[in-house]
Amino acid sequence: MSDVNADFLNPDAPRPPAVLDPLEQRYFNRELSWLAFNRRVVELAEDFTLPLLERVRMLSISGSNLDEFYSVRVAGLKELQKNDIFGNSLDGLSASDQLVEIAKVTNEIRDKQQRIWGVLQQALADEGIQVLDLDELSDVMKAYLKRVFMDDIFPILTPLAIDPAHPFPFIPNGGLSLAFQIAATDDKPEVNALLPMPNQVDRFIKLPSKSGEPDRVVLLEDVLILCIDEIFPGREVKGHCVFRLLRDGDLDFEEEAEDLVREFETALKRRRRGDVISMTISAHAPKKLKNQIIESVNVQAEYVDEVAEIVGVGDVKSLILDNRRDLQWKPFSPRMPERVQDFDGDIFAAVRQKDMLLHHPYETFDTVVAFVQQAARDPDVVAIKQTLYRTSTQSPIVEALCEAAENGKSVTALVELKARFDEAANIRQARQLERAGAHVVYGFVDLKTHAKVSTVVRREGDKLATYTHFGTGNYHPITAKIYTDCSFFTCDKGLGRGATKVFNYVSGYAEPETMENLSISPITLKPVLLDMISKEAQNAKAGRPAAIWAKMNSLIEQDVIEALYEASQAGVHVDLVIRGICGLRPGITGLSENIRVKSIVGRFLEHSRICCFANGEDLPSDKAKVFISSADWMDRNLNRRVETLVELQNPTVRAQIMDQIMAANLADTRNSWVLQADGNYKRHVSNDPLSQFDCHRFFMENPSLSGRGSAGSTDVPVLSHSDHSA
């Protein structure tokens, strides 16, 4: 066993807290904390207990994560630096200081990614998936690749000379290119040329194989080099390299634009031509050629990363072959809640019986889709209101909303145009909804609408009933298969009125004065959180039990961190499950000795936001205050977005949150890293990793409480002990 125990539910004696040096900061840097999260993803790529292709997937995810980090976060810091905009981060670092530290950590991560790729290539070869170099190709293989080149690649290639008559071309964000030094001939001078690699072609070209033979693939750039005579006939290539650019992915738009939709359409076009933030290039690049590229794309030398193995680590996901399921996670089919089956799929009837909480992806997101689809086709439904922050390209929810509008129902869709990297898709879907007759609302100019709310108003007898869905994640059926989130269904009148007020607030600036068991940012959510934390501190000072359990993606908001520090000093035991960014420094004597933080990274992406406050009793208990939320504890979520915080009242739902979801996360040792006082994360390890408690496996194998229905709860395991009735 390691010296770190990730079982927060039944811990060993705690380690002595560290002492904060007077020169040390009270907070961790946001950007460096995010990079620490990506380190954990990279670690999974070298975890031999994971299926091999899942390790490849983790390597790919770490590459894509780093790309987005540079296109957004590093781009923003460079903009601050360039414009001499002063103002330090929470931990006191300037933009320039942060960029220096980011570069150090990023170089370490990229070096590790390249080393792991070399190890994975050998492991793949051992399992019959071979990534072949040019010198490993037989004549038969070369002939096949040349046919593929001429039929499927050559028609969409455009070689580009670089000389005074041909200025350096625009290379799009994330675009891969080959660069060549072409030797002079008797009648032609030496010239450099570019060959943008078409993104319509897979990065790895698969060679044909017979049954029992290995799967063999060749990198696209190697195929292009193999066929260079077809691209530059009669010319000799003296040297070549592969390079890839990342551009500023942030949007610069006029917030006072009269037509916000049109302004975003224009801004998206501008983003495609954003400044170059960084470049990755082959380590063997000829010096003269490399210098010309650096100068032409106007990238600073310190943001040029030379790699020996593969440019564009994110592309290795192409190696996750459909025919090699044996090297991936065992297939998992989400459960359909028995409660819904009890009512033959009638979700309204199931919710009328009792509030219901679904835990995705373990319980199918199809229930959420069916909720909207059923509403669209139910003649008794008169109105539907729906937030849309991120959803899939061909969204069944958008299609259901269109169907409802065409059926004459009142449909209001609150579409967030500022959902980063999904703006274009959201604009298309907004147009589609408008054509169907739905009322499309774009929300506030200065606030993102991040809340996840859907309401259905149904005529039942001579009265109207409101059915409401609150989610911790997006209405996205694809990501719902890998993101862990909570879906809460209720026909509680107070929550229905509250949800309606949320829509009225965004659509008509009608700020709600009161809401029942519902808080929203930027108005009441943060004050409610601070008040709940303060009450725990008061209970601790009064000698009553005091504890906080919370789960989220990120914690960086200063006022909340300070409130948690004060609670710790008062004697409140705080256990936090924070997947990504954490600015709070735990385990410091006199500051945070009663706070523990862990990060869970594994098969599924932890995404749900939950908080539980002991309220004078030991957690878990009937007296506890239990909430789900769309908001992380970040400045943007609490102060600059429209978010929801829903207090759960139903005993079964509360028990599911505390005794199952939070308890399993706190007890997990298989996927957990514990944050140390110095900012390092230590993974819980043992001599037998496969015997460790795995919260993801627990949820896959066991039914949940509130969706159990007539099947009963006798076979539903709980991990903590409380007086809750299921």
Residues assigned a catalytic role: 450
Indicate the DSSP class of residue 164.
Answer: T
714 CB neighbour count, 10 Å cutoff: 7
* Alpha-carbon Rg for the chain in angstroms: 27
Identify residue 57 by its one-letter amino acid code.
R
Residue 418's H or E segment, with its range, is none
Dist. CA 201–CA 184, nearest whole Å: 31
Helix, coil or strand: residue 608: coil
- The answer to whether 395 and 369 are in contact (CB under 8 A) is no
**Tokens (6 digits) for 159:** 């070689």
Q: Which residues of 459-486 are buried (b: 16+ CB within 10 A; e: fewer)?
A: eeeeeebbbbbbbbbbbbbebbeebbbb
Q: Which residues of 368-407 are buried (b: 16+ CB within 10 A; e: fewer)?
A: bbbbbbbbbebeebebbbbbbbbbbeebbbbbbbbbbbee
Dist. CA 192–CA 238, nearest whole Å: 10
75 CB neighbour count, 10 Å cutoff: 20
| Nearest to 115, CA basis, from 304, 245, 305, 310 | 310
597 alpha carbon, distance to own chain's centre: 20
Render 527-590 in DSSP notation, one character per residue.
HHHHHHHHHHHHHHHTTS--EEEEEES-B--HHHHHHHHHHHHHT-EEEEEESS-B-B--SBTT
Q: What are phi and psi of 34, to 5 degrees?
A: -65, -40
- The answer to whether 85 and 95 are in contact (CB under 8 A) is yes
**Tokens (6 digits) for 708:** 């159990």
Tell whether omega for the bond before 522 is within 30 degrees of 0, i.e. cis.
yes
- The answer to whether 182 and 229 are in contact (CB under 8 A) is no
